[in-house]
Structure 1
Amino acid sequence: MRSESRLLVTDTTMRDAHQSLLATRMRTYDMERIAPDYARGLPQLLSVECWGGATFDVAMRFLSEDPWERLDGLRARMPNLLTQMLIRGANAVGYANYPDNAVRHFIGEAARGIDIFRIFDCFNWVENMRVAIDAVAESGKLAEGAICYTGDVLDPARDGFDLGYYCDVARQLDAAGCHIIAIKDMAGLLTPASVRALIAALRDVTDKPIHLHTHDTSGAAAATLIAAAEVGVDAVDAAMDSLSGLTSQPCLGSVVHALRHGPRATQLDAGVIARCSGYWDAVRRQYAAFEADLRSGASEVYRHEMPGGQFTNLKEQARAVGLEGRWPQVAEAYREANLLFGDIIKVTPSSKVVGDMALAMVSQGVSARDIENGNRAFAFPASVKAMMRGDLGQPHRGFPPAIQELVLGDAASVDTRRPSARLAPADLDKLRGEAAQILGRKPGEADLASFIMYPDVFSAFVKSGDRFGPVARLPTPCYFYGMRCGDEIVVDLDVGKRLHIVLHAIGDRNDAGERKLFFELNGQPRTMTVTETQAEVAAVTTLLADDRDPRQIAAPMPGMISMVAVAPGSRVAAGATLFSIEAMKMESAITAPVAGVINRILVEQGRLVEPKQLLCVIADDE
């Protein structure tokens, strides 16, 4: 890489582009159909990022797909291209810390199909990345250690994230054995001027190749890539034109044209890029239901610093909890929450914590100043408590002690050790047995890796496959939206196993909720009966709490009661947990503002509640 004069390029379309634009919903079916064109027409690519990050669990959770089959399929169709994945250090492809041997096992299995592992830690804590770096090196693959970028290296007010800080992280990654150093600008905050200064500074402390990743949320990221190329960055990330821009990566075709005829020309074929972009444009239309409501660049990102992959997701979370019309307040609360936590790096999973906090602040009508001054009671999300305890690791300046005390109430619960070092090694033989119970057969190593990362999701995925079969083979419009009368589809189950299906008619629903479907299967008429499930909604009277009475406990936000910790007659102290409420992956505790005895409980676990809905009443303890 260092000997190349051309700018090397990684295509992110099959991973980060759709993760940022389409809620990670891109199916293997659509990737496999274009992969041979990449192999034939774009052999000059440095790599194709096609795995890892959120794609792993989303494949099983929402697409009924085995992520390992995706990896095998793409590897087989692009044998001449390097494949690349994103791995969250000690979090692997999950959202929690895993035992060291579990991370090593996962990487060992992934190395059968992945060539470049981009490894990062949400606080740039290299100590938390070492197990993954060593495992990649031992597998004979390339370890790309990522420096997560935030702030502005040219802003003297952000002295915690100056050039000296980033150079120190680069030195540590170099010493840890990384083959490549990545700059992971997940929010797209780098400007042409700041990237010139950063790359020049990094080049003084490492001779390893430097690979730049950014997002185009601001609309100015292409200029940043061109500036980086001019000062000697070795490689950059870009996305195919029709899946570029906004919260995705800069436009690949535009970067190629901007550099042609110059010393950093990429040597990529612009005609092939245009043809591939045309394919992705047609595919993207099939995912319209997952498009974010973002139609232009957003310079506000320089203020709130949300990662590109979170920007649209947090908007959706805000909509789901009834805050869609208050997005400016949510964005400002995100900024306030970050500063409240001590100005931290925001990338999965720390960015989710900041987002949880922002939504909770706006939902509960509380500002950062209210929290700092203790003016208002505030239910801290469970993710905030976990981060303050040290469950995600340690930022280089630590967390503000005053905030830790507010959140935890007990400094003794803070643990500054490497999170995975606190965990006992995973009992792989025991876990194999548990996976075998779910599968009904001996699990392969890939099955085991999936089970370790996401036991509940894996179990649901297996049950879904047993019930519905290989739905990953269905064409995308059919999978998401179903067939209409007259539709004809072709399904390739395996080599030489092809199904031609034509839906002719759908019968009326009978009293049992059943319908008959009339269709052809490989030319033969067939009929089958399916049962529709319908939810009957009864009218429910909702009582609202009197916000002037501290003994009437109200729901702070819309969501689902995930846990009821008390029962009628229970004695509670002030500050005791009464309920947990969950909304869009955010879980918060609802605590007692006063001591007393639980008089009435008006909700049960699993109940959906609205803001200010009365949950329980606390009587005096006489």
Structure 2
Amino acid sequence: IRGVKTNIPFIENVVNHPIFVSGQATTTLIDTSKELFNFKRRRDRATKLLNLLGETIVNGNDQVKGRPVPVMDLPVIIPKYDHTHSLPKGTKDYLTKHGPEKFAQWTRNQKKLLVTDTTMRDAHQSLLAARMRSYDQLKVADAIAQRAGDLYSLECWGGATFDTSMRFLHENPFKRLRRLRERIPNICFQMLLRGANGVGYSNYPDNVIRGFIKHSAESGMDIFRVFDSLNYLPNLKVAMESIRKDTNSVCEATICYTGDILDDNRDKYTLQYYVNMAKELEQMGAHVLALKDMSGLCTPHAVFKLVKALRSEIAIPVHFHTHDSSGIAGASIIKAAEAGVDVVDLATASLSGLTSQPNLNSIVNALRGDKRDTGLDLQFLNELSIYWEAVRQFYGPFDTSPKFGSAEVYTHEMPGGQYTNLREQARALGLGARWPEVVRYYHEVNHLLGDIVKVTPSSKVVGDLAMFLLTKGVEPADLVNLEPGTAFPESVVDMLSGGLGQPKGGWPKAVQKVVLGDRKPFKGRPGARAEKVDLEAKRQEISKQFKREINNDDLFAYLMYPQVYTDLDKYIKQNGHARVLPTPAFFYGLKPGEEITVEIEEGKSLIVKLIYVSEPNEDGERTLTFELNGRARECVILDKSIKTESKKRAKADPANKMQVGAPIPAMVSSVAISVGQKVKKKDKLLVLEAMKMQTTVYALADGVIDKVEVQAGDQVDSKDLLVSLR
């Protein structure tokens, strides 16, 4: 309906009125139907999206600002499928009919090698910093459902993608899961769950973890791969119990592999260590055992020996996950298959290799005719690879994985899923050109901490501490010489306090003393110390904050990431749902003359064409002229590149303890003090945040706050003066 703006809601009410629809309306309808004048608040989605596009065109998307626009010359070709055919029966159908116990037995009894496709989660997390949008996944979902029904599962959710989908892509992760489920109802979905850490970076109360698992299962999740970042099994107990009791899903409990079982000189993580852990997980109720080689350290001969031992000692299926950082993980997959592994993780060819998983297409071909033949349709997989290859172009600025496999991974042991994210973090902190130093620091910090299991969130802590020390110019070996209680990233303080649990052998006392200062560490399961959250009271609290009803999507996303979800809610209210924009337009905007189609809901599309971008006026504003469904529309955007010369911040004198400087380049997250306030040494002054790393800044001496040079939201460089005392 188009017409005079003020009349449109009225006309819509008339044409949708039951009497009008029935054909019985007369001229008295308006006089007798007061409900015609009850107007719903218009969402005006088109205007919001035009303003969002305009903002991107004029000022750029913060995610790719300052980086060259990638060449996007490959056409996006969706594999063909016959939509008139009924979907083939898949693993989801079997799980729904028979339940997780029989599903696990079926998995163990299969002669063929079963395959999980990681393209929609770990592959892009490892290669593209977890930036893949649901727009590109949904485009190909129907084809996957029709032609890849023999897959064991699709890993499509959890891990870092829960955070990044909200923080960077402005999407609701639960809605992403449900939309995929609607399109792919026949194949099991798999997620990565960080045990007591949920999909976050710290420990959550037990009832939050249970509620999150239950809601995730209700939203479409079938297989929960649950792990602990330190292999601290008490942290898995609550999640494993919840999966078994509160859902009809599969509990895939995980051993995280590190070290080298073939190296007699490395006796911390031995073959017997892993076998004992597998037995304990089976006793705790695991349906399936996952062997998670997150850094790609498990060489072909090592995995053969390990899988053989595991299969002979436990009765549940074994699912092998690795990364191809070394370049030889494909051989590890073949050897694992020879040893009898039940399921393996692989990625579609064009998003495989390097820090991602080994090549799905090549492994399928290599096993054709073998007793472990996967039975997957190689022709379809190749068509799917062509699609993902074209889509990968859009994410060029995040495609920072190494260009070749390297044996250096056996030294630094960095998880494949962390590599591109850490590189992004280093770039944001101004350390991009010093990447080799970041890698060295990462390796040395790991051994400083006692050679720990490294996977999110423990791996993130190693990365945080490495970059913190590099920024401060402190060698890892010299950390123990720092003054106890020196300001460290919050993640480091939390982990060494026992916030993530306990590593094998405990934490080095000398490091704990410097990082914690007077703070006392605790032992035992962190979740047992966390106070239970009153979920309904929290729901009401959030409802008041957001001024709307809060559903379980909102509740559990908020509980995992309060500030990130708050920012997402604000973004959507201001800009609408950015997920409907094609990916190139979302990241790079439009060029004059460029036209896109935006489907804002099923059956309702907008055709948007950029006509002209004006020069800035005296206020620095540009007028953008669009064509929206054939009609001219304008929006006015402030050009943020036109600004007055800003005053440079003063630097703190490191010799003067009455001047407090920024330890790292970051954004001021919060300020805890005000001018005139008395403070004591080690009192909290403010909190800085840089790429998910939070650092609390403390007073260096007793005194009175003389000046506060910053406020929340300010960007600061390393050593900038933040607070002066007198």
TM-score above 0.5, yes or no: yes
- How many angstroms apart in 2 are the aligned matches of 1:465 and 1:419? 35
Report the CA distance between 1:530 and its aligned residue. Answer: 2.3
Q: Name 1:279's counterpart in structure 2.
A: 387
Aligned residue type for 2:151: L
Question: What pairs with 1:147-162 in structure 2 (closer than 5 Å)?
Answer: 147-162=255-270
Q: 2:535 pairs with 410, 425, 428, which one?
A: 428
Deviation for aligned residue 1:550: 6.4
Q: 1:325 Cα shift?
A: 2.8
Which of 1 and 2 has greater Rg?
2
Q: Is the counterpart of residue 203 in structure 1 residue 305 in structure 2?
A: no
Q: Per the alignment, do residues 499 and 328 of structure 1 end up closer, same or farther by CA in structure 2, a change over 3 Å counting?
A: closer
Map of 2:556 onto structure 1: 449
Paired with 2:168 and 2:264, the residues of 1 have a C-alpha distance of 44
Q: 3-state DSSP class of the match of 2:570?
A: helix
Where does residue 241 of structure 1 map in the other structure?
349
Distance 1:456 1:554, change over 3 A: closer
Deviations 1:397-449 (A, max 9, x none): 221223222221236x2121311211222212112213333554433323322
Match of 2:84 in 1: none
The residue number in structure 2 matching 1:124 is 231
SS at structure 1 position matched to 2:353: coil
Listed as ranges, the gaps of 5+ residues in structure 1 are none
Residue identity opposite 1:558 in structure 2: P
Instruction: Give yes or no for contact 2:256–2:292 (8 Å, CA) kept in 1.
Output: yes
Q: 1:610 to 1:274 in 2, by over 3 A?
A: same
- Whole-angstrom CA distance in 1 between matches of 2:539 and 2:659: 49
Aligned equivalents of 1:310 and 1:252: distance in 2? Answer: 21
Task: Write the mapping of 1:32-181 to structure 2, written as runs, cut at 5 A.
Answer: 32-112=138-218, 113-138=220-245, 139-181=247-289
Which of 298, 302, 318 is residue 194 of structure 1 equivalent to? 302
Give the deviation of 1:614 after TM superposition: 4.7
- Is the contact between residue 256 and residue 265 of structure 1 (CA under 8 Å) also seen in structure 2? yes
- Aligned partner of 2:114 among 1, 5, 8: 8
> Residues 214, 518 of structure 1: CA spacing in aligned structure 2 closer, same or farther, 3 A cutoff?
same
The corresponding residue for 1:534 is: 640
The alpha-carbon distance between structure 1 residues 333 and 434, as it changes in their structure 2 partners (threshold 3 A), is same
3-state DSSP of counterpart to 1:111:
helix
State how far apart, in whole Å, the 1-side matches of 2:674 and 2:605 are.
Answer: 58
Selected match of 1:264 from 361, 372, 378: 372
Q: 2:439 aligns with which of 326, 331, 335?
A: 331
Of 18-27 and 512-521, deviating more is 512-521
The amino acid across from 2:454 in the alignment is K
Q: Hey, what's the Cα distance between the residues in 2 that align with 1:554 and 1:442?
A: 42
CA contact (8 A) 2:484 2:514 kept: no
8 A contact 1:366–1:376 mirrored in 2: no
CA distance in 2 between partners of 1:426 and 1:572 (Å): 32
How far off its partner does 1:43 sit?
1.3
363 and 463 in structure 1: CA distance in 2 versus 1, 3 angstrom threshold: closer
Number of residue pairs matched? 616
User: 1-side partners of 2:563 and 2:248: how far apart?
Assistant: 32
What is the CA-CA distance between 1:543 and the residue it aligns to?
4.1
Report the TM-score when normalising by structure 2: 0.80
**Equivalent residues of 2:484, 2:513 under 8 A apart:** no
Shift of 1:583: 2.9
Q: CA–CA distance in 2 between the matches of 1:155 and 1:582?
A: 40
Distance of 1:50 and 1:186 partners within structure 2: 17
1:467 aligned to 2:551? no
User: Matches of 2:598 and 2:654 in 1, distance apart?
Assistant: 58
**Separation in structure 1 between the aligned mates of residue 650 and residue 621 of structure 2, nearest angstrom:** 38
Instruction: Tell me what 1:311 maps to.
Output: 419
CA shift for structure 1 position 592: 5.8
Instruction: Output the CA distance in 1 between the equivalents of 2:134 and 2:289.
Output: 29
Using a 3 Å threshold, how does the CA distance of structure 1 residues 228 and 502 change in structure 2: closer, same or farther?
Answer: same
Q: Is the 8 A contact 2:116 2:151 kept in 1?
A: yes
Q: Determine whether 1:218 maps to 2:218.
A: no
Secondary structure of 1:129's counterpart equals helix
Q: Which has the higher contact order (CA 8 A, sep 6+)?
A: 2
CA pair 219-451 structure 1, distance change in 2 beyond 3 A: same
Match status 1:497 vs 2:581 = no
Q: 1:341 Cα shift?
A: 1.4
- Alpha-carbon distance in 2 for matches of 1:369, 1:61: 34
The answer (yes or no) to whether the contact 2:229–2:457 under 8 Å persists in 1 is yes
Residues in 1 aligned to 2:705 and 2:215: alpha-carbon distance in whole angstroms: 55
TM-score by length of 1: 0.92
* Structure-2 separation of matches of 1:507 and 1:574: 55
Q: Which moved more, 1:198-207 or 1:38-47?
A: 198-207
Percent identical across equivalent pairs? 47
Unaligned runs of 5+ in 2: 1-106
Q: Distance in 1 between matches of 2:601 and 2:664?
A: 48
RMSD over aligned Cα atoms: 2.5
* Offset from partner CA, 1:166-224 (integer Å, 9 cap, x none): 11211121011111000111111110111112112212321110001111111111111
Distance in 2, matches of 1:578 and 1:473, equals: 42
Give me the whole-angstrom Cα distance separating, in 2, the residues matched to 1:129 and 1:505. Answer: 56
> Which deviates more, 541-550 or 392-401?
541-550
Higher mean C-alpha deviation, range 79-88 or range 528-537: 528-537
**How far 1:377 sits from its partner (Å)?**
9.4
1:584-595 aligned within 5 A: 584-590=691-697, 595=701
Corresponding residue number in structure 2 for 1:359: 467
Are positions 1:458 and 2:603 aligned together?
no
Alignment of 1:224-235 (within 5 A): 224-235=332-343
CA distance in 2, matches of 1:522, 1:616: 54
Q: Which amino acid aligns with 1:608?
A: Q
Question: Distance between the aligned counterparts of 1:388 and 1:376, measured in 2?
Answer: 13
Distance 1:405-1:450 versus aligned 2 partners, 3 A rule: same
Alpha-carbon shift at residue 300 of structure 1 (Å): 1.4
Cα 1:107–1:542, aligned 2, differ >3 Å: closer, same or farther?
closer
Q: Given residue 108 of structure 1, which amino acid in structure 2 is its aligned partner?
A: K
Shift of 1:98: 1.7
How far 1:515 moved relative to its partner? 3.9
Aligned equivalents of 1:174 and 1:73: distance in 2?
Answer: 33
SS in 2 for 1:2: helix
- Among 395, 398, 401, the residue aligned to 2:509: 401
Asked whether the equivalents of residues 38 and 78 of structure 1 are also in contact (C-alpha less than 8 Å), the reply is yes
Distance 1:320 1:520, change over 3 A: closer
Q: State whether structure 2 residue 514 is matched by structure 1 residue 384.
A: no
Which amino acid is 2:169 matched to? Answer: L
Counterpart of 1:498 in 2: which secondary structure? strand
Residue identity in the other structure for 1:331:
V
Deviation at 1:252, TM superposition (A): 0.7
SS in 2 for 1:182: strand
State whether residues 370 and 376 of structure 1, in contact with CA within 8 Å, keep that contact through their aligned partners in structure 2: no
